[in-house]
């Protein structure tokens, strides 16, 4: 198998791109995918101060590495969610990576906020991933806005985005469908959010880590088993095997032709006001994290 760019021995085949690459050309290919995503969706300017959400997994590390390679002003924020089986391992990968790459890393420890997820799980009735996700979004937003960052970048890849899109389609969830995309502009007290890896599959980001020498590990969260997205990921992976390129076409076509239709159908414009305790935007007077704090103190 020969590299599509330089005809050297290829180390990775990518049927969905009808291509194969040697290691150096793979890095060029990955760089172009990220540059294209950033340019097409006006994600970043050279003046931006970017806060990367660094979980310690392959996608977040690949993202921070690539944005730094592209010359952006990058710092990381790792939220230690306080789950003994997985959090210390994830935090270790985040810290080692940022030290090696000389990327400034902030750590926010939910335990110190009285919100360790292992404790929260014992008290809440809602699915823990929904509470954990909401809490992480809260802190990424507030940290970005309170510390002079202009945008928060997350490592969502094409598999994350297409499985989420498919889950939303299966429920015909017009509110989520009108909102899904690689860029959420800054509005109503929320920071701008971007997903520069959305054109890359999980396989491709894993390959990027391997070829760039990024040490990533994975300690599965013990609470992740009930998430529905993995089912859709498997279905889409089967489809991609039969029809290479299907995932990116599905997502690109949604962005070009589908999303707009849902945006116009979604007319409920809920009033959003600052939380009475912390000022975070909310439609319920008191935001979800302040409610959680109150509950955990009781
Ligand atoms: S799997 Fe769920 S509980 Fe675990 S870290 Fe992710 S969102 Fe939080
Ligand atoms: Zn090559
Ligand atoms: Zn609040």
Q: What is the DSSP letter of 4?
A: T
- This prediction has a pTM of 0.94
Say whether 107 sits in a helix, a strand or coil.
Answer: strand
**Residues 52/63, Cβ–Cβ less than 8 Å:** yes
For the CA of 128, the closest atom of ligand 1 is 3
- Taking the CA of 19 as reference, the closest ligand is 2
Domain ranges for the chain: 32-218+226-237+245-267, 268-298
For the CA of 221, the closest atom of ligand 1 is 4
**Residue-level pLDDT, tens digit, the chain, 298 residues:** 999 999 999 999 999 899 999 999 999 999 999 999 999 999 999 999 999 999 999 999 999 999 999 999 999 999 999 999 999 999 999 999 999 999 999 999 999 999 999 999 999 999 999 999 999 999 999 999 999 999 999 999 999 999 999 999 999 999 899 989 999 999 888 999 999 999 999 999 999 999 999 999 778 899 986 566 788 999 999 999 999 999 999 999 999 999 988 877 666 667 889 999 999 999 889 999 999 999 999 8
32-218+226-237+245-267 has which CATH code?
Answer: 3.40.50.620
Give the pocket of ligand 1 (CB within 6 Å). Answer: 81, 117, 128-129, 132-133, 221, 223-224
Cβ contacts of 173 within 8 Å, gap of 6 or more: none
Nearest CA to ligand 1 atom 4: 221
- Taking the CA of 11 as reference, the closest ligand is 2
User: What 3 state SS string does 108-173 have?
Assistant: EEHHHHCCCHHHHHHHCCCCHHHHHHHHHHHHHHHHHHHCCCCEEECCCCHHHHHHHHHHHHHCCC
Nearest CA to ligand 1 atom 3: 129
């Amino acid at each position: 198998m020969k590299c599509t760019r330089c005809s050297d021995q290829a180390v990775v085949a990518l049927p969905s791109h009808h291509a194969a690459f040697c290691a150096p050309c793979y890095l060029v290919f990955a760089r172009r995918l990220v540059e294209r995503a950033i340019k097409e969706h006006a994600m970043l300017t050279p003046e931006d101060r970017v806060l990367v959400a660094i979980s310690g997994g392959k996608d977040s590390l690949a993202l921070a590495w690539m944005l730094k390679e592209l010359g952006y002003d990058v710092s990381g924020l790792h939220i230690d969610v306080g789950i003994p089986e997985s959090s210390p391992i994830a935090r270790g990968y985040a810290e080692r990576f940022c030290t090696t790459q000389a990327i400034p890393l902030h750590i926010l420890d939910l335990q110190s906020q009285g919100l360790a997820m292992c404790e929260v799980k014992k008290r809440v009735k809602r699915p823990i991933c929904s509470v954990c996700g909401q809490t992480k979004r809260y802190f990424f937003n507030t940290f970005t806005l309170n510390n002079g960052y202009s945008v928060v970048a997350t490592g969502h890849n094409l598999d994350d985005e297409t499985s989420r899109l498919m889950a939303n389609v299966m429920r015909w969830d017009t509110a989520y469908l009108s909102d899904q995309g690689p860029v959420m502009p800054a509005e109503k007290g929320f920071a701008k959010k971007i997903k520069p890896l959305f054109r890359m599959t999980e396989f491709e980001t894993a390959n990027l880590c391997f070829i760039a020498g990024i040490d990533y590990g994975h300690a599965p969260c013990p609470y992740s088993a009930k998430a529905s997205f993995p089912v859709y990921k498997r279905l889409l992976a089967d489809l991609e095997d039969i029809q290479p390129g299907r995932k990116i076409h599905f997502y690109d076509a949604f962005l070009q032709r589908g999303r707009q239709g849902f945006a116009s159908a979604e007319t409920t414009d809920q009033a959003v006001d600052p939380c009475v305790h912390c000022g975070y935007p909310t439609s319920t007077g008191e935001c979800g994290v302040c409610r959680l704090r109150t509950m955990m103190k009781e």
